[in-house]
Structure 1
């Protein structure tokens, strides 16, 4: 939607550039030095932080310096006033999760969110599938910090070698799992990390070949 709206406003973004920017976004939000620097400069919940982030993203997308503020004001206004965000999961997930549970897997969700997101799990009708749902903010550590995985490992008395972590961000999920000694699988349906040095799937249908 972001890309489509920018095209309406006059900024066309190629598929290659779109993947490059998505790659940068994944890097940025994985506790990157740039995020830490921006967080120290701005309150992350402030308009100033998000305006700065929007300008940076537009620059990465190829907007000319003299165009950035005009595009930012338009796109920010659209998402603030017209866009209605909706939580979604891949269509195959409601078939795969029951199969994994029936096989005997312990299933948990670990997100880099700051607060509990159980309401979203329930909204998506996923609450019957998981043995635990945890936000990094509840732990006080954030992926890729390996400490974020410790509470779940201890809760189920599992060693890292017995555990697999599936995530869609190479920089937080794959690096974080490896930091903790856990086997990672990268979910990459958009092809953002085509050359990643890790087991990679583009749909959850492929999980059966890896587990």
Structure 2
């Protein structure tokens, strides 16, 4: 069936924090005397993807701490230290320092990479319907406008608007209903295998994993490391 729509994830796919939080956190952790390998770093990054994919751990933490408050982020830092391979006792001791450092000094820029903007232009010229589907709680139209990309999209959808979050398929069903298409007529492009690939595949869409960091070498779907590769990847689906 002919592909008629390209849907995108927002954070980490179209919109990036530069520098990345995982990189800055890891650099600071090294200054605390903690040594870890590239393999450890990749494992921690994969843990981050899994955690933020509306995971049971994330939902349990939000319920326990009631919001993304200071205690939540200390707990998050402890979880990430454990994912890096830091022993439990040391992770617990260092977590407040790591959390405080990130809260005070991590001030990234929010950007849409040039290759993403170029791909959006090319896809729009080819007549595809396009949308942004995110696990955010609130609408983000103004953010798309601030980055100068809102005009590319027929609509945007936040999980909180429909009380449905990736990787559950319902959020994709809502999106498909808006454009009156069958699932196999749509592609979903995202950077989180656990949320974006698993979720879109559950709904019957064709997933494309955007993986510039090479965190998912075993991914069982189309994979791109640059948006320059997106249109050729779509042609092969």
- TM-score in terms of structure 2 length: 0.83
5+ residue gaps in structure 2? 1-23
1:163 paired with 2:165, answer no
Name the structure where strand makes up a greater proportion of residues.
Answer: 2
User: What is the CA–CA distance in structure 1 between the aligned matches of 2:104 and 2:47, rounded to whole Å?
Assistant: 26
Spell out the pairing of 1:88-103 with structure 2 (5 A cutoff): 88-103=111-126
User: What is the CA–CA distance in structure 1 between the aligned matches of 2:171 and 2:113, rounded to whole Å?
Assistant: 25
Match of 1:5?
28
Deviation per CA, 1:165-202: give whole Å up to 9, x if none: 01111111111111111111111110110011111111
Match of 1:60?
83
Contact 2:131 2:154 in 1 (8 A): yes
Match of 2:101?
78
Contact 1:87 1:120 in 2 (8 A): no
User: What is the CA–CA distance in structure 2 between the aligned matches of 1:83 and 1:106, rounded to whole Å?
Assistant: 36
Spell out the pairing of 1:42-53 with structure 2 (5 A cutoff): 42-53=65-76
CA RMSD of aligned residues (A): 1.6
1:202 paired with 2:225, answer yes
Aligned length: 211
Q: CA deviation at 1:99?
A: 0.6
User: What is the CA–CA distance in structure 2 between the aligned matches of 1:74 and 1:10, rounded to whole Å?
Assistant: 13
Higher relative contact order (CA 8 A, sep 6+): 2
Deviation per CA, 1:15-68: give whole Å up to 9, x if none: 111111111111122122222333332313232222212111112212233432
Partner of 1:194, secondary structure, is coil
Match of 2:133?
110
Deviates more, 1:26-35 or 1:172-181: 26-35
User: What is the CA–CA distance in structure 2 between the aligned matches of 1:77 and 1:34, rounded to whole Å?
Assistant: 22
5+ residue gaps in structure 1? none
Partner of 1:92, secondary structure, is helix
Contact 2:62 2:68 in 1 (8 A): no
User: What is the CA–CA distance in structure 2 between the aligned matches of 1:192 and 1:91, rounded to whole Å?
Assistant: 22
Contact 2:77 2:96 in 1 (8 A): no
- TM-score in terms of structure 1 length: 0.93
User: What is the CA–CA distance in structure 2 between the aligned matches of 1:179 and 1:152, rounded to whole Å?
Assistant: 14
Partner of 1:107, secondary structure, is strand
Evaluate the alpha carbon distance shift between residue 89 and residue 15 of structure 1 in structure 2; reply closer, same or farther with a 3 A threshold. farther
Match of 1:150?
173
